[in-house]
Structure 1
Amino acid sequence: MAPTNVTCFREENESEKGEEITIEEDKLSQECKELILSLPRERGWRTRYIYLFQGFWCQPLEIQAIITFQKHFQAKDSDVIVATIPKSGTTWLKALTFAIVNRHTHSITTSMSSHPLLTSNPHELVPFIEYTVYGNAPSHVPNLSNMTEPRLFGTHIPFHALAKSIKESNSRIIYICRNPLDTFVSTWIFLNKIKPEHLPEFELGEAFEKYCKGIIGFGPTWDQMLGYWKESIARPSKVLFLKYEDLKKDVNFHVKRIAEFLGWPFTSEEEGDGTIESIIKLCSFEKMKELEANKSGTFARNFERKYLFRKAEMGDWVNYLSPEMGEKLSQIMEEKLSGSGLSF
C-alpha cells in the first residue's frame, strides 16, 4: 500500500508546512489513522489526499467526524436536516429554512433589524454535522439534548451514510442539488481559493477529469443525487428533493413548499402581509452578500466567509468549460441517472 497522508505528514515535519499538516494529524483518532491506511485514495482538492470511505470520497477529518456522528447521533422527530451537494445552494437553503422555521420566534415583518440572519452566517445558525457539530476534536461527542427545538443541521453526507436514528425517526430532510456543470465550476473555483498555500492549484482539465470519474468530496455526484432522489420518491414525507434551478425560477412557490413539508405552512394572513416576500428578500444572494457577517471573518476549517458568495448564476459554466467538456459531463450524467426519472 502506498503511504497515506498520515505518512506524508511525518515526511514533511521539517518545515512550517509540515507543522501545519501535523496539527491536522493530531486531530485524528488512532482508529481513524488506522482506517485510512486501508482506504483507496486520490489527490485531494483541498487536502493532500481524499479517501473513498463507505462508497464516497472525503477528507480524513470528515471521515472521523462521520464515524462519530454515525455512532452517537440521536435524532429527534422534530429535527430538520438540510442536505446538499457542495456548491449547490447550501447557504441559501440554510438561510431559507432557518427563516421559515423560526419566523414566529424571529419575526420577519416586525423585527427585521434584529433577525439572526443579519448578524450570523447561515452556517452558524444551521451547523454542519461533519464540520461543526462533530468536527472539533477526535471522537468528540457533543451534548445536543439541550438545543432549542426544532434542531436544524446541515450536511453533505450521502443518504446511505446518515446516522441510523435519522432514517428511523420522523425527522425531515430537505435536499438540494444543482446542474453538475455549474456545480463543478463553482466547486473548482471555490476550492482553489480556500486550499492551503502549500498545496498546488488544481488545473481545470485535471479537476474536470477527476469530477467526471466521481472523485470529488461526497461524490460521485450522481450517486449522492440518486440516494436522496430515490428516498424522496419512496418516502416523500421524509425527504423533499429540490433543484437549485427550480428554486431560482420560482422561489415563492418553493418557499411555501418547504414550509408545508416541514409542517409549518404559511397562514393566509402571512401570505397577505408579505411574510413570504420578506423571507425571500432577507435570504436573497444580494442581501446576504452585503452583510458584514458574510463579508469578513473565517468559518469552519478556516476559510474566509466571503468565498461562500460568488455569482449564484445559472449557466455560468459556459464561461469556463469548452463545448466538448460540457457534452462529456452531460453524457455522463445522462447515463448515470438513466431510468431514475431525474434529469438536468
Structure 2
Amino acid sequence: MMKKQLFIILITVLTISVQNIAKAQEFKVLQFNIWQEGTTVDGGFSAIVDEIIRLDADLIAFSEVRNYGQTKFNEKIADALAKQGKKFYSFYSYDSGILSRYPIIDHKTIFPEKDDQGSLYKAIISLKGKQVAFYTAHLDYKYAANYLSRGYHSSTWKKLEQPVLNVDSILKDNLMSQRDEAIKAFINDAFKESKQGRLVILGGDFNEPSHLDWTENTKHLFERKVAVRWSVPARLEANNFIDAYREKYPNNITHPGITFPVYNKNVDFKKLVWAPESDDRDRIDYIFYYPNPKLKFKNIAMVGPQESIAFGEVILEKTKDPLILPKGIWPTDHRAVIATFKIN
C-alpha cells in the first residue's frame, strides 16, 4: 500500500514538473493598436497597462505611438508597469513601438516614420535561452484601397459616385501607399536575422486586409464585392511567413477575425465611423512568424469588445472567432491580437 502511494506521489510530481517546464518555454505576443496612446478614450492609458498585465503578454507590438507632450511613451508605459511590479524593456520609437518582458540586446529602425506613412522597428530579444528578432509595424493608413469597392475614397473616405470594382484599379491604388516598401524592408532584414539562427516574429496594424480573407467565397460578405490578392499579406506568404490567425483558423467565413472598426462605448460614436453607408469591417491587425524548428505556434485569439461598426451602426459579432472580452475600459477602436508560442 505504501509503495502504491509513493508511486502515485512520484507520478504526480513528475507530471507537475513536466507541465511547469512546458509552460516555462511558452511566451505570449500581443499586437495592440492603442489609438493615439489611449488618449482618445478617457482612462485609456491606464487601460493599456491593465490589459498588458491581465493578458500576461511578454512581447508587445504597439501601433500609434505619438510621444505626446514631449513625453516618451515607451518609457512612460514601462514605468507605469514597473509601479505594478512588472518589469519591461523598451527603447525610443515613434508611430510603432516595442515592449518586452525580456532584455533587449539591440534595436533598429527598419522603416522610419515620415509624413505619417508608417513605420517598422526591430528589437533583438534574449528570450528563454534563444534570441528573437521581434518586429513591430504600423503601416501607411492612406490609399486604403479596401474602401474603394465599398464606395469610399481610399484616402479622404469621402463617398464616391459609385464603387470601384475593377481589381486592377484597386491594386494600383493600394500600391500608391508606402506599405509595400515597408514590408520589403522587413522581409530583407528578417531573412538576415533568420540566417543567423534567430526566431522571427512580426506584429502589426497593416491598414490592409488579407488575400486570405478577400476570396471568391467571401465576396458577398462585408460589402467587399470582389476578391483581391492584397499586396502586403500576399508578399509575406510568398516569402514563407505565416499568418498566425489564418494558420489556426483557415475558415474565413466562420472565423473572419475582424479587428477594425470596433465599437467603443466610451467614445463619441462619430469618431468610430469611417464608411457610414457601407460595411468596412476587416482583419488588418496581424501576427506573422517565420517557420523555425525551434519555434512552435500554439494558439491565438482576439481581444476587445464583441461589437463592431457597420453601416454606421453597432453590430454584434456572432462568429466563431475566439475573443477575450475587456475586463474594464477598452482603450482603442481596434481589437488586439494575442498569440502563444513555445520555444522547442
TM-score by length of 2: 0.28
- Larger RCO (alpha carbons 8 Å, 6+ apart): 1
Between Structure 1 and Structure 2, which shows a larger proportion of helix residues?
1
TM-score by length of 1: 0.28
